[in-house]
Amino acid sequence: MNADLDPLNRFSRTDGTTTESEDLSLCLLEEPPTITGACFFADGSCATMEQADCEAAGGQYVGDDAPCDPNPCTCCNLRGDMDNSEVRDVSDLTYYVDYMFGGGPAPVCEEEGDVDANTVLDVSDLTYLVDWLFGGGPDPVPCP
């Protein structure tokens, strides 16, 4: 017989007292809180939603409890920062390859994905970023 459960369906406490199972039912019925955050879309819009819903809708989930306002994508901060991490590195290259060829999400801020500033997200941005990261090419075009 389990030392924590007796035949009368009571639970033993460490202090020797018991608690009827009905007393515990309230704890078991509580729903966990819904965790939401900012979900940014390629068109610049934002909605607060759960991560799975955001990803299913084709958005980029920024993080739990992240706000939509202020929108970090209202202006260009750092071209080539595909994942909006405020750093340009190999993860941005991986992100962009996944977007272009693997069906991954669009860059959080399209303007930052436009590495060569020609107003189009295409393979030239990917080539530019590869050349900058590994070939000593010019820095991505600064944001205005």
Q: Which CATH number fits domain 75-139: 1.10.260.40, 1.10.1060.10, 3.40.50.720, 1.10.1330.10?
A: 1.10.1330.10
Task: Please report, for the chain, the start and end positions of each structural domain, with discontinuous segments joined by +.
Answer: 1-30, 33-73, 75-139
**Burial of 69 (C-beta count, 10 Å sphere; 0-12/13-18/19+):** exposed
pLDDT in tens, the chain (144 residues): 444 544 555 555 556 665 554 444 445 566 778 899 888 776 667 889 999 998 899 887 877 887 877 655 555 788 899 888 888 999 999 999 999 999 998 887 788 888 888 888 899 999 999 999 999 999 888 876
- State the DSSP H helix or E strand holding residue 38, giving kind and residue range, or none if neither: strand 37-40
> Tokens representing 17?
């007292």
CB of 99 within 8 A of CB of 82?
A: yes
**Burial of 36 (C-beta count, 10 Å sphere; 0-12/13-18/19+):** middle
Q: Is the pTM of this model over 0.95?
A: no
